[in-house]
Structure 1
Amino acid sequence: MNSDLDRLQPYPFEKLAVLKAGVQPPSHLEHISLGIGEPKHPAPPFVLEVMADNLSALSNYPTTKGMPELRQAIAGWCERRFELAAGSVDSERNVLPVNGTREAIFAFTQAAVERKPDALVLTPNPFYQIYEGAAYLAGAEPYYLNCLADNGFIPDYDAIPTEVWQRCQLLFVCSPGNPTGAVHDIDTLKQLIALADEHDFIICSDECYSELYPDEHNKPAGLLQACAELGRQDFARCIVFHSLSKRSNLPGMRSGFIAGDAALLEPFLLYRTYHGCSMPIQHQLASIAAWNEEGHVLENRSQYRHKFEAVLRVLQPVMEVKQSDASFYLWAKTPIADDEFAKGLFEQQNLTVLPGRYLAREIDGVNPGEGYVRMALVATVSECVEAAERIRHYIESL
């Protein structure tokens, strides 16, 4: 077997299972999970109808590149959402449908990294675990960029040594961030594009939470948007990842896209052709319907906004926590060690949250996830409020 498999760490939820093993929560309380970022809002009925009406497509092999109509729907959505000029996203060259961002992030890293002894993949820390695993299995070393409160949970890009930039092959940007919900502003994205030009690396911007924001007048900026403002019509060295999982409550459909530099997407399409990961036709047709409709997304944001307001009213008097810039996560500071907090909360209140240390690595003696827990406000409003009240009771009992 590939020896790089031995470098993979247990997934955060495996660590969480070990933490909770042998703990007996109170049986009179129903379990509430804020641990996994799996959307629980209902899937849009019109999307389900399209899928159900096209099950006969199971008789056909889908193409790796996807249906032209899907690529056109995606290109149009990008242009509308990020205020790009009409026709600036070429559906033939700048877009590929993928089976969710997780699959695409991993696969693109395998195709893009040139196996050199000094190859680096730069990743935020804390981070989405696929960034690290993809780097290891592509033959590169992950280089962790601590995301600390004093910099708004955005990496301090100015502090990265020149020699690190010179070895960088891929830079992962997660905006809005998982787990912190922090958003890169457009000037920072432009700064990163300039660094990519100077040092010849690829920017991979994971934007799968971009549609979950609290202020309708303050949408998170995107990497393609930064390219457009710089006049970079070719999106050189820039790749973005988007998904219907969070935006449209369709995590089980595994539908998203990768878009950007055509010079990078062309060889990636070749890789995907061999990889054998084309999207089922009925999923493509359902995806077209989802990308072309915004009403359900507006309602989705409204539900999350209501949950954040209700939960924060309960927690803020006893806990250091505030509204995240975007996403459905709260990144909350704990009054005791984060893992002990999560364990005690499960034991006393039958409630699951994810210790921040499980989402990060210790760098220079600092684990930037320590002292925080990630709460995914994916349950119903009533369950989220009940969860907040249980957390408050637990904190007040310490």
Structure 2
Amino acid sequence: MNFPERFANLPAYAFPRLRALLDHHKPGGDVVHMTIGEPKQKFPQWVTDVIVENAAGFNSYPPNDGSDELRAAISGWISRRYGVEMDPATQIMALNGTREGLYNAAMALCPEQKNGQKPAILIPNPFYQVYMVASLSVGAEPVFVSATAETGHLPDYENLPPDVLDRTSIAYICSPANPQGAVASRDYWQRLIRLAEKHDFRIFADECYSEIYRETAPVGALTVAQEMGANPERVVLFNSLSKRSNLPGLRSGLIATGPENMKRLKQLRAYSGAPLPGPLQAAAARVWADEAHVVENRALYQEKYQVADAVFAGLEGYMPPEAGFFLWLPVADGEAAALKLWQETGVRVLPGAYLAQGAAGENPGTGYIRVALVTSAEETRVALTALRRCLYD
């Protein structure tokens, strides 16, 4: 039996690789999970009430693109957060989590050829793994661009060869960055948008960590594109309630872009989409419309930033994250460090190499571990203190 060759060289996904690395060894203490970006802080108590109140909706097929109420709530949030007005009917679609959208948007919007050649899709390296699989699925060439300390932990797409840029169809960018916590500045977005206009490609702006930050809200791609008067089809925004509202299981994501892009996105989703159940859409609408719980949630993360800064004070190479909830900690070898930490302390972290692709014989994640600040502030303090003693002191 034959199988598609385009997926033949995919590495094992990060978390099965981690289990293979660690699970046949005993933990050296009480287990603390700091691997996956799965928030453990409380979500609003009233979410369950809204689902129950709308439970009769389980008896009906849900609106594929999102209910009018949900799309209106998302539009209102984009207006408040980014200062951009978007038509709920023609520029916004609800997603079953952003991973679905980040994949299917490439399916809907990447052409078979660009300037008579195989299209290229630009990917920051390290990266969220769906970017690579989406590129392979549409027959494009994934071009991995290292996001290192030298580039401010964001990819420098401007220095790619002109022939690569001329056949680029899509550029993925994650800001705040997963895993480094770096934030794209207004100048960075301006330069990227100008580059996209010059070489005629779309920017897929993955801003799922945008509501977790230290002091200043990260500027969004839509805001800058509007300020520049860019074509509304140029930027495709993705966000969700998973991090913003501690609701990864609700699977409420959004995609927002120009009306021509949206026509093609909706057409594909009519055939292949898996919409949120109606009661969950009702709950999501309420959550997108509420900001008080987001402010409270952000304060808890800000407390954990302070904990991390105190624990790693004076540590050479420690980079306080600007936003998001990951630490990107330098080590000699990420796999060896993760295994040592597990065997000696029971703290479980992710080797950085599992989030990156080797390019020119080098993997830019090899010398790092990713640590998710998803437990309580006190648990975080204890775990990070054990981590520092084990790996650095």
**TM-score bin, normalised by smaller chain:** over 0.9
Relative distance call for 1:18 and 1:112 in structure 2 (3 A) is same
Relative distance call for 1:164 and 1:46 in structure 2 (3 A) is same
Report the Cα distance in structure 1 between the residues aligned to 2:315 and 2:157, rounded to whole angstroms.
33
One-letter code aligned to 1:221: V
Report the Cα distance in structure 2 between the residues aligned to 1:299 and 1:23, rounded to whole angstroms.
38
* Residue 293 (structure 2) aligns with: 296
Confirm or deny: 8 A CA contact 2:158 2:195 kept in the other structure.
no
* Residue 342 (structure 2) aligns with: 346
Report the Cα distance in structure 2 between the residues aligned to 1:107 and 1:237, rounded to whole angstroms.
17
* Residue 149 (structure 1) aligns with: 149
- Percent identity between the two aligned chains: 37
Q: 2:228 aligns with which of 211, 227, 230?
A: 230
* Residue 105 (structure 1) aligns with: 102
For structure 2, which runs of at least 5 residues remain unmatched after alignment?
Answer: none
Report the Cα distance in structure 1 between the residues aligned to 2:89 and 2:4, rounded to whole angstroms.
35
Relative distance call for 1:390 and 1:182 in structure 2 (3 A) is same
1:306 is the counterpart of 2:303: yes
**CA drift at 1:312:** 2.3
Confirm or deny: 8 A CA contact 1:113 1:170 kept in the other structure.
yes
- 1:225-304 equivalences in 2 (<5 Å): 225-232=223-230, 235-304=232-301
Report the Cα distance in structure 2 between the residues aligned to 1:396 and 1:331, rounded to whole angstroms.
14
SS in 1 for 2:213: coil
Q: Any runs of at least 4 consecutive aligned residues in structure 1 with deviations exceeding 4 A, and if so which?
A: none
TM-score, normalised with respect to structure 1: 0.94
Report the Cα distance in structure 1 between the residues aligned to 2:296 and 2:284, rounded to whole angstroms.
18
One-letter code aligned to 1:6: A
Q: 1:219 aligns with which of 217, 220, 226?
A: 217
- 1:1-398 equivalences in 2 (<5 Å): 1-26=3-28, 29-84=29-84, 88-116=85-113, 118-215=118-215, 218-232=216-230, 235-318=232-315, 320-334=317-331, 336-395=332-391
Report the Cα distance in structure 2 between the residues aligned to 1:239 and 1:158, rounded to whole angstroms.
19
One-letter code aligned to 1:325: E
SS in 1 for 2:249: helix
SS in 2 for 1:263: helix
Size of the aligned set, in residue pairs, is 388
One-letter code aligned to 2:217: K
For structure 1, which runs of at least 5 residues remain unmatched after alignment?
Answer: none
Report the Cα distance in structure 2 between the residues aligned to 1:236 and 1:270, rounded to whole angstroms.
16
One-letter code aligned to 1:51: I
One-letter code aligned to 2:50: V
**CA drift at 1:248:** 0.3
- Pairwise CA RMSD: 1.4
Report the Cα distance in structure 2 between the residues aligned to 1:319 and 1:358, rounded to whole angstroms.
23
Q: Please list the CA deviations of residues 51-89 of structure 1 after superposition, one character each: whole Å capped at 9, or x if unmatched.
A: 1211111001112122111111111110110123xxx31
Q: Please list the CA deviations of residues 296-346 of structure 1 after superposition, one character each: whole Å capped at 9, or x if unmatched.
A: 000111001111111221123446323211100111111x31110111000
**CA drift at 1:110:** 1.4
**CA drift at 1:393:** 2.1
TM-score, normalised with respect to structure 2: 0.95
One-letter code aligned to 2:13: Y
Report the Cα distance in structure 2 between the residues aligned to 1:290 and 1:30, rounded to whole angstroms.
35
One-letter code aligned to 2:195: L
Confirm or deny: 8 A CA contact 2:158 2:192 kept in the other structure.
no
Report the Cα distance in structure 1 between the residues aligned to 2:256 and 2:8, rounded to whole angstroms.
32
**CA drift at 1:396:** 5.0
Report the Cα distance in structure 1 between the residues aligned to 2:51 and 2:213, rounded to whole angstroms.
28
Report the Cα distance in structure 1 between the residues aligned to 2:323 and 2:345, rounded to whole angstroms.
28
**CA drift at 1:21:** 3.8
**CA drift at 1:7:** 3.3
SS in 2 for 1:330: strand
One-letter code aligned to 1:231: G
One-letter code aligned to 1:354: L
**CA drift at 1:276:** 3.2
